[in-house]
Structure 1
């Protein structure tokens, strides 16, 4: 009888051990899956950030060219020349302008490749303190990522807490649907403020332009919605294809992630911290 009890206890212990092992392996697998998901979402978010930045630049440049015809430059406007493969169709009414910019797999100066059409429009009254620029897309791709949606940018010249000197400030309303080549679809809504903090005093030189980006938005991923806030302004330099510094804090259902773009070097490295665990990630086109 005693032998049977000992045998039963051994069997129970073995079953308990097996159950615990399965639980631990399951937790480990879940943790690995969670880390992989966080890394993937951080990379996706960075690519959407870069697409948003390039769209803002193109829309603002078309406004500047329309507001300042001829050479397209003055002390107030700084315009990046479009790649030679881009074409622009201009339509005017009595009160409005529309510039349809079509790209044929064009490489921008920062190395990003765009294809398709952006339609940019606004009022012909350029004497107001601020100007609203509308933009929309037609079969538009940024590094093979399909961008859809339409929204506005309110552009003005002003002094801000970021920079006391009067400088160009673009307040961008975001409502984009983004489809990646693998078929994953993401939707982003929010607000992004883009300030030119360097280079506005040298309008004939594009390469010295530097922008400071602030704002917040929500992004709907296949796994749920994340809310992101720029806690340290993002720094964008005209001659670099990557965001060079700044911090974005993202809050999801089960965790908080912080994406740090670095110390100002033009590289494709960033650090992602999720619930206290930090990983270096690569941000590619």
Structure 2
């Protein structure tokens, strides 16, 4: 998902910050600034790319999980990324090295360093755990650290009655921005592939529904929570240039709430934001 928040939403969130801020504000209720909005968006992009890369490497190792064969599966990785595979009697490990100076993904994001993805050769387990870790990994020049897991199941859910791939991403990451600001994120993010996962060649027709509950700690120690529920999941359509076509994201800090509504399914970059229950205001995102 590539959702670069533009000036309209930045200005709105800046207003949202000022209405609940004074010089006596405590760290736990400090202002949610336009810089935080941009930082949150960049971290969302990174989490999305990592999730897609981890799934891609799993399917490279086990293409039958998507009804494909090794010969027919097309990786999402560009040619500037190299992959080394090691297989033992019980495990597999795939190390992805992105070219020095940056390797541009199909969505335009630039990656550097390495991601190590690994798992068991017992692919028949109902809940398959995929490990991922970062080695000097940067996403658009943001250093990302943390070693966690994605649990993959193939089952039904409240969002789709028929069996489909479901990834639950355990998030505990540290993001160091080029200016030295350090953010941490802890929580879970669930991504359900509801369409396109059995197509014979690639991932361009995939459709995902995403729910999440993630707490972000800012450089000054203040926190806010990003929540997406089953009632209005974010819908990602890979054949839409804007990726996200519908869903509601709620951003909560101790005394204020912002609700971002991405619409009802049209492939466009139009959305609205409502602050503290106020009248929704239009904004645009993405490119």
Normalised to the residue count of structure 1, the TM-score between the two structures is 0.79
Match of 1:258 in 2: 259
Larger of the two Rg values belongs to structure: 1
- How far 1:86 moved relative to its partner? 0.4
After superposition, the C-alpha distances for 1:115-143 in whole angstroms (9 at most, x for unaligned) are 21110011111122221000011121222
User: 1:125-140, aligned counterparts within 5 Å?
Assistant: 125-140=122-137
Answer yes or no: is the 8 Å Cα contact 1:43–1:283 preserved in 2: no
RMSD, aligned α-carbons: 3.1
Distance 1:120 1:128, change over 3 A: same
What is aligned with 2:9?
A: none
Relative contact order, higher structure (CA 8 A, sep 6+): 2
Give 1:46 shift: 2.3
Show CA shifts across 1:205-230 (max 9, x none).
Answer: 42111111012111111351112210
Cα distance between partner residues in 1 of 2:263 and 2:59: 31
Q: Is the 8 A contact 1:167 1:195 kept in 2?
A: yes
Aligned to 2:228: 230
Question: 2:60 touches 2:75 (CA, 8 Å); kept in 1?
Answer: no
**Residue ranges of structure 1 left out of the alignment (5+ in a row):** 1-26
5 Å matches for 1:66-145?
Answer: 66-68=61-63, 73-74=68-69, 80-104=75-99, 105-145=102-142
Deviation at 1:267, TM superposition (A): 5.0
1:283/1:38 Cα in 2 relative to 1: closer, same or farther (>3 Å)?
farther
Secondary structure of the corresponding residue to residue 41 of structure 1: helix
CA distance, structure 2, for counterparts of residue 180 and residue 93 of structure 1: 37
User: Structure 2: how far apart are the matches of 1:181 and 1:225?
Assistant: 21
Change (3 A) 1:282 1:177: farther
Q: Is the 8 A contact 1:132 1:155 kept in 2?
A: yes
Alpha-carbon displacement from aligned partner over 1:189-244 (angstroms, at most 9, x marks no partner): 11111110110231314211111101211111135111221032111222435433
The structure in which a higher percent of residues are helix is 1
Contact 1:39 1:281 in 2 (8 A): no
Unaligned runs of 5+ in 2: 1-14, 23-29
1:203 is the counterpart of 2:200: yes
**Comparing 136-145 and 240-249, the one that deviates more:** 240-249
Aligned residues: 257
Q: CA deviation at 1:268?
A: 5.0
Q: How far is the alpha carbon of 1:47 from its aligned partner?
A: 2.1
Q: Quote the Cα distance in structure 1 between the aligned partners of 2:191 and 2:212.
A: 9
**Between 130-139 and 241-250, the greater mean CA deviation after superposition:** 241-250
Counterpart position of 1:178: 175
- Which deviates more from structure 2 when the two are superposed, residues 246-255 or residues 133-142? 246-255
When the two structures are superposed, what TM-score results if normalisation uses the length of structure 2?
0.78
Whole-angstrom distance in 1 between the partners of 2:17 and 2:250: 25
**CA offset at residue 92 of structure 1?**
1.9
In 1, the alpha carbon distance for the partners of 2:267 and 2:175 equals: 25
Quick one: distance in 2 between partners of 1:28 and 1:250?
11
Partner of 1:190: 187
Q: Using a 3 Å threshold, how does the CA distance of structure 1 residues 219 and 42 change in structure 2: closer, same or farther?
A: same
